[in-house]
Amino acid sequence: MRAGVISLGCAKNQIDTEEMLYYLKLGGIEPTDVPDEADVLIVNTCGFIESAKQESIDAILSLAKFKQIGACKLLCVTGCLSQRYSKELMDEIPEIDIITGIAQYDILPKLIFDAISKNTRHLDVARHKPKEAKGRILLTKPYTAYVRISDGCDNRCSYCAIPLIRGAFSSRNEENILTEMKNLADNGAREQIIIAQDTTRYGTDTKESSIIKLINKAAKIQGIDWLRLLYCYPDETTYELIDTMASHDNVCKYLDLPLQHASDKILKLMNRRGDIAKVKDILYYARSKGFTLRTTFIVGFPGESDEDFETLLNFTAEMQFDRMGAFTYSREEDTPAYLMPYHVPEHIKLERLDRLMLLQQEISLKRNRFRIGDEEKLLIVGKENGYYIARSQKEAPDVDGIIYLSSDETIADGSFVKAVIDDADNYDLYATHIGDK
């Protein structure tokens, strides 16, 4: 039996898919990239914001047609959207045969065989405490891997549905994480990226470890050239954490601090902890240590006035983030913000988003141009139009720009090389190969 799988959403969801693929293979179901040859088609959905939900529904409907024109006997929907809207999906899309949530990947092969043999539909989104997966089949290139250190979230930001989907924050056992990272390194994962809903909260629920202790131990694993930390929470990002990251040569000096806004009024409405003055101090400190700074903002949150938005623009101009992502507020059912007054009209949200991104485009170009003439260590991740595609410590995969590398030599994917930055545009850079690193 063959299964075709579409994985949507963030890197955390991708890890779920990698674990799912392992269990499918263990259960005798082989993956295939050809949907019209698949006996089973599976969509691992995202349900974070409205656009992600729509993308998931579109993917489900696009695969449903293969029940008529392909070999597909079964359409299965898993993940965040199905965890949150299982009944609605089952009622409104009759082509779906199996719906599971985020905790049933290990039993999915049995559900598939049962549904085929009994010709019945199945729905199971029962919540369980997150358990250790027995294995993964990586969807990344073999030299790069994500490592999830916890699941769920206790922050309860007023706009966010993640706690409704993923449940309470739960740290993984430190020994299990380190064993996984060693196994990944032994199999060639030279770049490992630590992720969670909130990486900085790691260990606070169990009191058995902390993000600082974990970094200190993980950095000593042989074979990890780059260790990257994503999704830090502002009020838990400390000087000690910055110093710890800076003290290890193989820990990327890259601070991903999703701030969501810069107006104290809006941050309070968002139920975000901490204050912006302390955040500034941390950002300036990280910059002084040579860190690349990345953040994420939401525009058009309920009650956001012109003054609040100007505060956000001024903050962005002052802090000069190297990388920034931004999106308009998405009104999510069952969240506190859904019932808030003074929702911002859609056209104003989009206008504000455009203004913010145009400002950041100028900043990004300036920050990139500062790097012209620098010698940097690059990781080769592909080839395109005569250039090698590369990243430095300053570029996280999928979310940041890339570096186009010129070289007369043949360079294998996954190699580290030395290069000089020659030119820059708004988001990407150009470099010349000057040797192996």
Q: What is the mean pLDDT of the chain?
A: 95
Output the domain CATH number for residue 21: 3.40.50.12160
Q: Which two tokens stand for residue 373?
A: 């003439």
Q: Tell me which of 369, 396, 417 is where a domain ends.
A: 369
The pLDDT tens digits of the residues spanning 150-177 come to 999 999 999 999 999 999 999 999 999 9
Do strands 40-45 and 74-79 pair parallel, antiparallel, or not at all (unpaired)?
Answer: parallel
The pLDDT tens digits of the residues spanning 189-218 come to 999 999 999 999 999 999 999 999 999 999
Say yes or no: 150 and 46 in one domain: no
pLDDT given at position 174: 97
Say yes or no: 330 and 395 in one domain: no
Q: Tell me which of 335, 369, 403 is where a domain ends.
A: 369
Say yes or no: 218 and 336 in one domain: yes
The pLDDT tens digits of the residues spanning 345-361 come to 999 999 999 999 999 99
Say yes or no: 93 and 182 in one domain: no
pLDDT for 129 beyond 80: no
Give the confidence band of 437 by pLDDT, cuts at 50, 70, 90. Answer: low
Say yes or no: 109 and 210 in one domain: no
Say yes or no: 191 and 302 in one domain: yes
**Length reported for the chain:** 437
pLDDT given at position 202: 97
The pLDDT tens digits of the residues spanning 62-99 come to 999 999 888 899 999 999 999 999 999 999 999 999 99
Residue 74 counted as domain residue: yes
pLDDT for 187 beyond 80: yes
Give the confidence band of 48 by pLDDT, cuts at 50, 70, 90. Answer: confident
Is the whole-model pTM more than 0.75?
A: yes
Say yes or no: 201 and 260 in one domain: yes
The alpha carbon dihedral of 318, 319, 320, 325 has a sign of negative
Distance CA 382, CA 261 (A): 35
pLDDT given at position 245: 98
pLDDT given at position 435: 80
pLDDT for 124 beyond 90: no
Residue 340 counted as domain residue: yes
Domain total for the chain?
3
The pLDDT tens digits of the residues spanning 217-271 come to 999 999 999 999 999 999 999 999 999 999 999 999 999 999 999 999 999 999 9
Say yes or no: 211 and 266 in one domain: yes
pLDDT given at position 126: 86
Residue 134 counted as domain residue: no
Q: What percentage of the chain exceeds 90 in pLDDT?
A: 90
The pLDDT tens digits of the residues spanning 295-340 come to 999 999 999 999 999 999 999 999 999 999 999 999 999 999 999 9
Say yes or no: 61 and 41 in one domain: yes
Say yes or no: 47 and 179 in one domain: no
Question: Over the chain, what HEC string results?
Answer: CEEEEEECCCHHHHHHHHHHHHHHHHCCCEECCCHHHCCEEEEEECCCCHHHHHHHHHHHHHHHCHHHHCCCCEEEEEEHHHHHCHHHHHHHCCCCCEEECCCCHHHHHHHHHHHHHHCCCEEECCCCCCCCCCCCCCCCCCCEEEEECEECCCCCCCCCCHHHHHCCCEECCHHHHHHHHHHHHHCCCCEEEEECCCHHHCCCCCCCCCHHHHHHHHCCCCCCCEEEECCCCHHHCCHHHHHHHHCCCCECCEEECCCECCCHHHHHHCCCCCCHHHHHHHHHHHHHCCCEEEEEEEECCCCCCHHHHHHHHHHHHHHCCCEEEEEECCCCCCCHHHHCCCCCCHHHHHHHHHHHHHHHHHHHHHHHHCCCCCEEEEEEEEEECCEEEEECCCCCCCCCCCEEEECCCCCCCCCEEEEEEEEECCCCEEEEEEEEC
Say yes or no: 114 and 194 in one domain: no
The pLDDT tens digits of the residues spanning 267-296 come to 999 999 988 999 999 999 999 999 999 999
Segments forming the whole domain that contains residue 81: 2-124
